Chain A
């Protein structure tokens, strides 16, 4: 299952690789020229520290290259996020 409808992605839960919930996927950002997915737009879980992330209104942006797996939930790599935040 490599190809998936983008509409089915939305409303999926986003978790980090340590198992804690980050939020619910609201939208995905793409580069229109290349079609490459660049960012996840996530409605953050209430317990998440959103100050670590770039924010857009009530949503946080998570770089798509931190995504490890997409199944019933979306798993993002905690270490990569740490790196991105530090950078």
Chain B
């Protein structure tokens, strides 16, 4: 399917598991490769991405799985969730060691 680049601006981005990521603000183009390299996303869902003080993120185009009325990307585990999971694992480990 061929689309005009400007039709991407303002589109909402979700992961394929339905998690909201943000709104597409701009498109990054690789001139040498003649292809889209990434999508600049703003209005980031803080539960999906820990962006800190930055205004947005650039999502690599290879993560994109579908473009229609919205844009879908592969589900990425959020860094926040990852940290919590690691913390959980460490606690589990600690408990197991205590049990021994």
Contacts and interface: CB of A to CB of B under 8 A. Distances in A.
Given A28-B4, A29-B3, A32-B3, A3 B61 contact: no
Interface residues of A, number: 27
Chain B at the A interface: SS class: strand
B32 interface: yes
Nearest to A64: B34
Contacts of B6: 6, 10, 27-28
Interface residues of B, number: 24
Contact of B34 (A5, A27, A33, A65): A65
Interface string B34-66: 111100100000000000000000000110100
**Shortest 10 CB-CB contacts between residues of A and residues of B:** A6-B27, A35-B36, A35-B61, A28-B5, A32-B67, A35-B35, A36-B35, A32-B1, A27-B4, A6-B5
